[in-house]
Amino acid sequence: MIGFIGLGNMGFPMANRLADAGRELLVYDTRSEVIERATGFGARAASSPRDVADQAEIVLASLPSAQASSAVAREVSEGAEATLFIDLSTVGSEVAQRNHDTLAEPGIAALDAPVSGGVNGAQHGTLAIMVSGPRAAFDTAEALFDDLGRPFFVGEQPGAAQTMKLVNNLMAATTLAATAEVMAAGVKAGLDAQIMLDVLNAGSGGTHASRDKFPKAVLPRTFDYGFATGLMVKDVRLYLEEAKSLGVSMQLADAVAGMWESTMAEHGPDADFTNIVKMAEKAAGVIVAASH
């Protein structure tokens, strides 16, 4: 029996993939309607995180905040059956270390295993999964990770995978913000948006944003790539906290963070993160769209 807590935009398709792989799943979410949807792919419903940990030896969680992660870890630590807790959330290294300590008291191993690849990666089992914690626990869970994507064992230090994830997401936040600015500048100068992407992607300026996010969600004007602005802001803030604690340069990260904070203030935390393009468009007085 595998437990899964948190059936949001990322958690639901991950749980679905585990069920499709033949895993017997016990699920919990604070929203009864998504639990009911999960029973549609064969999952059993639990009444609380503690209920999950009372019945499942391995418990996975995909949660929206550090506070939720800590609360769930505390409940799981009281479970009668749980022996391994895998946190797929992005919560920062400090929270991961605290969760590890909380779970160690009753003898439950903990892996922090944040993921990258968005909703599309969760649906298709192509996520990059960064994992840290006891190597033996990773070996136990590796087949589960393989059902979800490609796991990378970062190290045994609790929180190491969280640091890796924050580095990754700061890069993603920066390249999307930078691509938004240069695309708006090019269109303002009279360049065709599609031709710009073609050239960028054939040359040294190509990014994941230009190759994937812009063609799928910006040029068609759908702004529905599948990741919330509020979650990106959360991740950027966590990176800033980590960078500050490490005493490293934050000059570029501070500028990028300002752009994301402005985007959230303008469009709200639930807006798709590709809405950052609208901020660059507004400043330039242009629309970055397909010409036909």
The residues of the chain that CATH labels 3.40.50.720 are 2-156
* Across 17-38, average pLDDT: 97
Count of CA atoms in the C-beta half-sphere (13 A) of 121 = 17
Output the average pLDDT for the chain.
Answer: 96
The residues of the chain that CATH labels 1.10.1040.10 are 163-284
Do residues 14 and 89 make contact, with C-beta atoms less than 8 angstroms apart? Answer: no
CA-CA-CA-CA torsion for 230, 116, 14, 54, nearest 10 degrees? -80
Structure confidence at residue 95 as a pLDDT band (50, 70, 90):
very high
Q: What pLDDT shows up at residue 183?
A: 98
What is the third-level CATH fold of 163-284?
N-(1-d-carboxylethyl)-l-norvaline Dehydrogenase; domain 2 (1.10.1040)
Do residues 234 and 65 make contact, with C-beta atoms less than 8 angstroms apart? Answer: yes
pLDDT tens, residue by residue, 99-135: 999 999 999 999 999 999 888 899 999 999 999 999 9
Closest CA to 166 of 250, 89, 90, 225: 90
How many other C-beta atoms can be found within 10 angstroms of the C-beta atom of residue 54?
19
pTM of the model: 0.91
Contacts of 129 (CB under 8 A, 6+ apart): 88, 113, 114, 115, 145, 148, 149, 150, 151, 152
For 64, phi and psi rounded to 5 degrees? -85, -10
Distance CA 199, CA 214 (A): 13
Where do runs of H (alpha helix) occur along the chain?
11-20, 32-39, 49-55, 66-77, 93-104, 118-124, 135-148, 160-188, 193-202, 208, 229-246, 251-267, 276-284
Distance CA 251, CA 237 (A): 14
| CATH class of this structure's domain 2-156 | alpha beta
For residue 274, pLDDT over 70 is answered with yes
* Across 273-290, average pLDDT: 97
* Across 162-190, average pLDDT: 97
Q: What pLDDT shows up at residue 292?
A: 65
Question: How many residues appear in the chain?
Answer: 292
pLDDT tens, residue by residue, 211-264: 999 999 999 999 999 889 999 999 999 999 999 999 999 999 999 999 999 999
Do residues 92 and 66 make contact, with C-beta atoms less than 8 angstroms apart? Answer: yes
Do residues 87 and 102 make contact, with C-beta atoms less than 8 angstroms apart? Answer: no
Q: What pLDDT shows up at residue 6?
A: 98
Q: What pLDDT shows up at residue 291?
A: 82
